[in-house]
Amino acid sequence: MSNISIDFLGFTLKNPLMLTEGPLSGSLELIEKASKFEIGMIFTKGIRLESTESPVPYIRKYERSLINADWSDIGFQEWLRTINSLQTDIPIVTSIAKNYLNPDTAVEMAVELVKAGSKTISFVDYDPIQLVDTVKKARPLIKAPLMVKLPPFLPNLEDVLKSLVSAGVDAIAAMDSIGPVLSIDIKTGEPIMGSKDGSAYLSGKYILPVTLKYIYEISRFVDVPVVGVGGVTDYKSAIQMIMAGATGVGMVTAPILEGFDVFNKTASGIKEYLEEKGLEKVGELRGITHRKVRERNISTNLKAEINQAKCTSCGLCEKICYSKAVIIEDEKYRIIKEKCVGCGLCASVCSFDSITFNGRII
Ligand SMILES: Cc1cc2nc3c(=O)[nH]c(=O)nc-3n(C[C@H](O)[C@H](O)[C@H](O)COP(=O)(O)O)c2cc1C
């Protein structure tokens, strides 16, 4: 029997899936609703000193992703009451929107949140120097685990991570939505978002490859547990995140678009995957990609071949091949080896694994 529970910051979580900061964890009612699903840990929406409202509209579906300019929050005093009265067995991380606060105020808020019952604190900031400073100040005052959430594309990543670890951080989450981004309504020429200049942030399916690379790099540099968040929508993307080095896997856009049930589906997908692979624990997948990369031999100059027994003649490979290496001969798709440039694009659109390179499915 495979086991998908994980140990994280002294808690045993029923699975590695986490609802991270966003509108679905913005109030007592929503957190209590989320707690009924297969979620290992819940991060509150970013806590601000004062209650705030966002410019309308502030969340828009963007194909299979979202863009948002959501800075709404119920405010610190309401969060203290919320944490105090929360009834749930799921560990809660209170997440402080450090961006909008100086380090001393953020630390004072963290101390108050711990007194109100918070068992884990996270600081979120686009400025890594401020993050390091905040952790340094909070560490001597707070026994509870301290986390940070990093923005994407940090330069000097290794230095920032080492400074956070020596300041006493217990876990690192990455990453926040990507931005600022802009989308324009061509009927009017106006930005589609309600913020003054239309600036917003991109999250969801489109950002998965960016997050994966980031988590891979972060987990190369530090030993503290890492939470991968950004673009996870199903068990396959969650498993990729763990293989890249994550201990926990966050989601926000997927449950907004599909409902909380996406956590249940993802959790059972991970379990089935482990069972199929004969693995006992989800932790056995962690960081596999690091090992694979070390062992990897790079191949060049390989040519595609079509396995006729598997080919359904759908024709997608012919349509997409820009070097015109796929032809039809006797009603069968074939590769002209001299024309094939070995890019692999045809294999990526074949749903039947019928295209191989030197016998290897890529
Ligand atoms: C509508 C919305 C509101 C968000 N609010 C916050 C927030 O208050 N604090 C924060 O740290 N991240 C916030 N995020 C970012 C998410 O926690 C997460 O890092 C990001 O969306 C990437 O994950 P995803 O692709 O699963 O959505 C928000 C995201 C969305 C979509």
Q: Within 10 A of 19 (CB to CB), how many other CB atoms are there?
A: 28
What is the pLDDT, as a whole number, of residue 361? Answer: 81
Q: What is each CA distance from 178 to 26, 174, 181, 201, 205, in whole angstroms?
A: 20, 11, 8, 5, 12
In tens, the pLDDT along 251-264 reads 999 999 999 999 99
Query: What single letter denotes the amino acid at residue 177?
Result: S
Task: For residue 335, report the distance from its CA to the centre of ligand 1, in Å.
Answer: 45
Burial class (CB in 10 A: 0-12, 13-18, 19+), 326: buried
Query: Does any ligand 1 atom lie closer than 6 A to the CB of residue 204?
Result: yes
Alpha carbons 27 and 44: distance in angstroms, whole number: 8
Task: For residue 283, report the distance from its CA to the centre of ligand 1, in Å.
Answer: 25
List domains and CATH numbers for the chain.
Answer: 6-293 (3.20.20.70), 304-361 (3.30.70.20)
Residue 231 CA, closest ligand 1 atom number: 25
Q: Are 231 and 24 in contact (CB under 8 A)?
A: no
What is the pLDDT, as a whole number, of residue 327? Answer: 96
Residue 20 CA, closest ligand 1 atom number: 17
Question: What sign results for the dihedral spanned by CA atoms 115, 171, 18, 195?
Answer: positive
Query: What single letter denotes the amino acid at residue 306?
Result: I
Task: For residue 362, report the distance from its CA to the centre of ligand 1, in Å.
Answer: 33
Q: What is each CA distance from 361 to 20, 277, 290, 301, in whole angstroms?
A: 35, 18, 20, 15
For residue 355 the two structure tokens come to 């295209």
Task: For residue 134, report the distance from its CA to the centre of ligand 1, in Å.
Answer: 21
Pocket residue to mutate for ligand 1, from 74, 203, 212, most atoms within 8 A of Cβ: 203
Task: For residue 269, report the distance from its CA to the centre of ligand 1, in Å.
Answer: 23
Query: Does any ligand 1 atom lie closer than 6 A to the CB of residue 255?
Result: no
Residue 256 CA, closest ligand 1 atom number: 31
Query: Does any ligand 1 atom lie closer than 6 A to the CB of residue 251?
Result: yes
What is the pLDDT, as a whole number, of residue 8? Answer: 98
Pocket residue to mutate for ligand 1, from 17, 21, 211, 249, most atoms within 8 A of Cβ: 21
Alpha carbons 269 and 2: distance in angstroms, whole number: 12
Q: Is 42 helix (H, G, I), strand (E, B) or coil?
A: strand
Residue 65 CA, closest ligand 1 atom number: 25
Residue 21 CA, closest ligand 1 atom number: 17
What is the pLDDT, as a whole number, of residue 362? Answer: 81
Task: For residue 22, report the distance from its CA to the centre of ligand 1, in Å.
Answer: 5
Give the residue from 167, 73, 179, 72 showing the smallest Cα distance to 128: 167
Atom 20 of ligand 1, residue of closest alpha carbon: 177
Query: Does any ligand 1 atom lie closer than 6 A to the CB of residue 233?
Result: no
Report, in angstroms and rounded to the nearest whole number, the Rg of the chain calculated over CA atoms.
23
Low-confidence ranges of the chain (pLDDT < 50): none
On the question of a cis peptide bond just before residue 152, with omega within 30 degrees of 0, the verdict is no
**Strand pairing partners for 184?**
191
pTM: 0.96
Atom 26 of ligand 1, residue of closest alpha carbon: 251
Got the DSSP string for 222-260?
--S-EEEESS--SHHHHHHHHHTT-SEEEESHHHHHH-T
Alpha carbons 202 and 253: distance in angstroms, whole number: 10
- Beta strand extents in 3-157 (DSSP E only): 6-8, 11-13, 17-19, 41-43, 59-62, 65-68, 92-97, 120-124, 146-150
Alpha carbons 335 and 328: distance in angstroms, whole number: 9
Pocket residue to mutate for ligand 1, from 153, 177, 229, most atoms within 8 A of Cβ: 177
